[in-house]
Amino acid sequence: MAGRFVRASKYRHVFGKPTRKEFCYDNLHISRNAWDTNLVKANPEYLSVNWESGGGGAFAVIPLGEKGKLPDQIPLFRGHTATVLDTDWNPFNDRIIASGSEDGKVFIWEVPENFTLYTDAEEPGHVSPVSKLAGHSRKVGQVLFNPAAENVLASASGDFTIKLWDIGTGQSTHSLKHNDIVQSLSWNASGSLLVTTSRDKKIRVWDVRAEKPVHEAPGHPGAKNSRAVWMGEHNRFATCGFSRMSERQIALWEPGRNEPIGGFTMLDSISGVCMPFWGWCCLPRVHC
């Protein structure tokens, strides 16, 4: 038909090449829980995976070098009485990891020396936590270590609070109170500020020592979850969320501004929550 055309994609001749199986991690029993969080976390030595298991919550730790098909039975990090929702690695110690669970607890774990998934034992021995942090009254959906202050951990709970912990003493040092469930949190590079998104559709930037927000602005207007990620050493952060018409959006913010830079940018109309990530050598990445 005259006057109509189809825009050709710049990537129509680009094809992905599958990675060979021996370079993949196969036979993973990844958690089927619907909580919006990262199911996998990695550091230079290990990979943590929220695990689907009976008899309480668990997660797996996989040495990065042990690729290929994993054994059917592997040692798990067990201790929670309900599903593990999130894990995070200590940036100062590659063998220390934190977990948050539906049981409302935060646990600290240490990966044993020379840890491996392969053992001659008929049943692999499970790993127990080295510390249990109690203080939340509802499920803990996110845990995140401070990138600059050693032993400082933030945990977000369904009790509308974020607690800051000194994992060396096991004590909560600060509590950041919200008006509704916290959906995401992210530290700035110096560890002095924390950005959060909440079910009340507000974006807050917190001075964690003062236990109060230094800035609050209206966030994405849609009813579904929104996520935030601080852009490294830049004084900016990115958010993903939804419009009132359930269109997925991305936005770029500076603390102190009540509106995003350039407004909200629509991505598409898919229902899944976008998960933003920051790469130190590039722009924010969005996993949809």
Instruction: Write the pLDDT tens digit of every residue in 50-74.
Output: 999 888 899 999 999 999 999 999 9
Backbone phi and psi for residue 105, each to the nearest 5 degrees, phi listed first: -110, 155
pLDDT attached to residue 55:
80
Q: Is the pLDDT of residue 287 over 80?
A: no
CB atoms within 10 A of CB 242: 23
> 56 vs 40, 83, 96, 127, 158, CA distance in Å?
19, 6, 21, 14, 19
pLDDT attached to residue 280:
62
CB atoms within 10 A of CB 131: 16
pLDDT attached to residue 286:
55
The angle formed by the CA atoms of residues 155, 138 and 215, to the nearest 5 degrees, is 45
| Token representation of residue 203 | 């974006």
Q: Is the pLDDT of residue 2 over 90?
A: no
Longest pairwise C-alpha distance within the chain: 73
The CA dihedral of 196, 200, 31, 270, to the nearest 10 degrees, is -100
Where, residue-wise, is CATH 2.130.10.10 in the chain? 178-288
CATH of range 178-288; options 2.60.40.10, 3.40.50.1820, 2.130.10.10, 3.40.50.300: 2.130.10.10
- Say whether 50 sits in a helix, a strand or coil: strand
CB atoms within 10 A of CB 274: 21
Distance CA 157, CA 108 (A): 16
pLDDT attached to residue 288:
52
Tokens 């996520």 belong to which residue? 227
pLDDT attached to residue 269:
82
- Residue (of 90, 127, 131, 122) closest to 111 by Cα position: 127
Distance CA 131, CA 108 (A): 5
Determine the straight-line distance between the first and last CA of the chain, rounded to whole angstroms: 35
pLDDT attached to residue 62:
97
**Helices (H), ranges, 111-195:** none
pLDDT attached to residue 162:
96
pLDDT class for 199, splitting at 50, 70, 90? very high
Distance CA 59, CA 150 (A): 24
The angle formed by the CA atoms of residues 262, 265 and 269, to the nearest 5 degrees, is 170
If you average pLDDT over every residue of the chain, what do you get? 89
pLDDT attached to residue 222:
87
**pLDDT, tens digit (0-9, with 9 covering 90-100), for 258-282:** 999 999 888 888 878 888 888 765 5
pLDDT attached to residue 111:
98
Q: Is the pLDDT of residue 134 over 70?
A: yes
**pLDDT, tens digit (0-9, with 9 covering 90-100), for 83-110:** 999 999 999 999 999 999 999 999 999 9
**pLDDT, tens digit (0-9, with 9 covering 90-100), for 7-21:** 566 667 777 888 888
pLDDT attached to residue 271:
79
